């Protein structure tokens, strides 16, 4: 397979296609993206013009569909919904979303790709099913029964050029037992490195790109898309003004912070000299710009996720933020894709 010019990739639970973008950057051909959120798939379609898309619940896709795409499925990548595993959620054992990885296994069983990759939150490693069996062991064992050698590890996005301390578990199943996870980058990209040439929301022209990352991200579209601020009432704005760089809700006087929510990243103002915290829905968790008294825009969240500025996100401002929160950072996907390419090139 190493001599094939274009190796085909199918992306399940594709969302807006951050994982796909990483594989495209490494020279793979993303032939199909499947997701059941129509807005996210519109974003996928807009930014993956050479790929087919299917808006469908994977549990409702029949086996014949996968038989029909078997010949063009060399690599299967997937990021099943993670809310049931997330440490910041309720982590209910009976949550139906906890079983969605089985849809990836079903697709792999029928399409028989050379490589299967599943990305998820770190919380999946400690989650058990209703029978008390660790989900990570089920994933490993079911893929092994299909003939794959399975490795998994925790990857930190900031180790691979993403300006964000996002940690994710990556399971990689390969037909040969010689896959190696990507090597870490020595240098890390900070929030200031990432956002420094993005002006405030009342400006429509980029500032001069000064860092390698800014030059890489700044696109050719000219205008700045997805860079509208969320509206804040006077009470919220007052809370924001009390938070210093790197601070959070604890810096807000109790009489002003009367909304509850005591997660360490609530009302977190980003530290410009470090990689960002994990990007969630910026307006719901109140991720504050390091210099401006407002929540970061979708464009700024996209930068911190390593989506370049040509990647335009569909939907309302809130939907844009949620799409980005759900996404795999393209540069993390790229690092994984390069390691897969290296694996495929081995004899």
The residues assigned a catalytic role are: 82
Cβ-count burial of 194 within 10 angstroms (0-12 exposed, 13-18 middle, 19+ buried)?
buried
∠ CA(42), CA(21), CA(153), 5° rounding? 120
CA separation for the pair 49, 129 (Å, rounded): 39
CA separation for the pair 59, 68 (Å, rounded): 17
User: Residues 259-284, buried b or exposed e (16+ Cβ, 10 A)?
Assistant: eeeeeeebbbbbbbebbbbbbbbbbe
3-class DSSP string for the chain: CCCCCCCEEEEECCCCCHHHHHHHHCCCEEEEEEECCHHHHHHHHHHCCCCEEEECCHHHCCHHHHHHCHHHCCEEEECCCCCCCCCCCCCCCCCHHHHCHHHHHHHHHHHCCCEEEEEEEHHHHHCECCCCCEHHHHHHHHHHHCCCEEEEEEEEHHHHCCCECCEEEEEEEECCCCCCCCCCCCCCCCHHHHHCCCCCCCCCCCCCCCCHHHHHHCCCCCCCCCCCCCCCCHHHHHHHHCCCCCCCHHHCCCCCCCCCCCCCCCCEECCCCCCECCCCCHHHHCEECCCCCCECCHHHHHHHCCCCCCCCCCCCHHHHHHHHHHCCCHHHHHHHHHHHHHHHHCC
Structure tokens belonging to residue 252:
């807000």
């Amino acid at each position: 397979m190493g001599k094939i010019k274009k190796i085909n990739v199918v992306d399940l639970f594709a969302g807006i296609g951050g994982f796909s973008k990483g594989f495209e950057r490494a020279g793979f051909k993303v032939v199909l993206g499947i997701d059941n959120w129509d807005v996210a798939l519109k974003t996928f379609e807009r930014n993956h013009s050479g790929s087919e898309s299917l808006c469908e619940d994977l549990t409702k896709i029949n086996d014949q569909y996968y038989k029909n795409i078997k010949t063009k499925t060399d690599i299967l990548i997937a990021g099943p919904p993670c809310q049931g595993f997330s440490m910041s959620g309720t982590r209910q054992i009976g949550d139906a979303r906890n079983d969605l990885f089985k849809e990836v296994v079903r697709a792999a069983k029928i399409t028989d790709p050379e490589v299967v990759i599943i990305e998820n939150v770190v919380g999946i490693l400690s989650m058990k099913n209703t029978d008390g069996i660790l989900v990570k062991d089920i994933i490993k064992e079911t893929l092994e029964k299909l003939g794959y050698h399975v490795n998994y590890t925790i990857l930190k996005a900031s180790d691979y050029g993403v300006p964000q301390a996002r940690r994710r578990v990556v399971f990689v199943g390969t037909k040969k037992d010689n896959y190696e996870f990507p090597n870490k980058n020595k240098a890390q990209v900070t929030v200031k490195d990432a956002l420094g040439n993005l002006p405030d929301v009342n400006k429509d022209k980029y500032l001069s790109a000064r860092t390698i990352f800014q030059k890489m991200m700044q696109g050719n579209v000219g205008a700045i898309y997805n860079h509208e601020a969320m509206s804040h009432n006077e009470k919220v704005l007052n809370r924001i003004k009390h938070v210093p760089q790197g601070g959070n809700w604890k810096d807000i006087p109790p009489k002003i912070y009367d909304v509850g929510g005591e997660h360490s990243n609530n009302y977190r103002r980003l530290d410009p000299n470090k990689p960002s915290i994990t990007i969630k829905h910026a307006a719901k968790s109140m991720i504050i710009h390091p210099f401006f008294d407002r929540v970061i825009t979708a464009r700024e969240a996209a930068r911190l996720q390593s989506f370049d500025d040509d990647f335009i996100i569909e939907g309302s401002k809130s939907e844009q933020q949620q799409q980005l929160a759900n996404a795999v950072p393209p540069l993390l996907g790229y690092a994984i894709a390069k390691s897969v390419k290296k694996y495929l090139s081995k004899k």
